[in-house]
Amino acid sequence: MLKKDFMLTYKVIELGTVTEETIEDTLNEWTAKGWDLNGMQFAMRESSRRPAMAFVLFTKKDGDGAHG
């Protein structure tokens, strides 16, 4: 049995405006392009409960059009 080695390519999308709509739009856009959601990180403001920024992380296996 042959084992094919895959290397992951990562995509980081920075959201300067963090709303339900911007998160949904980003998830729908990049998963439709074949990227897999890897996680989300939020940068918080001390003076607010709402995040100042978000970073949405995606992965894709090399060899299947990972750049785009």
How high is the mean pLDDT of the chain?
Answer: 89
Residue 55 confidence class, pLDDT cut points 50, 70, 90: very high
pLDDT digits (tens, 9 = 90+) for 2-19: 666 778 999 999 999 999
Confidence check: pLDDT of 35 > 50:
yes
Domain boundaries, the chain: 8-61
Task: Dump the DSSP string for 4-63.
Answer: ----EEEEEEEESS--HHHHHHHHHHHHHTTPEEEEEEEEEPTT-SSEEEEEEEEEEETT
**pLDDT at residue 38 in the model:** 98
- Judge whether residue 47 has pLDDT over 60: yes
The share of the chain scoring above pLDDT 90, in percent, equals: 72
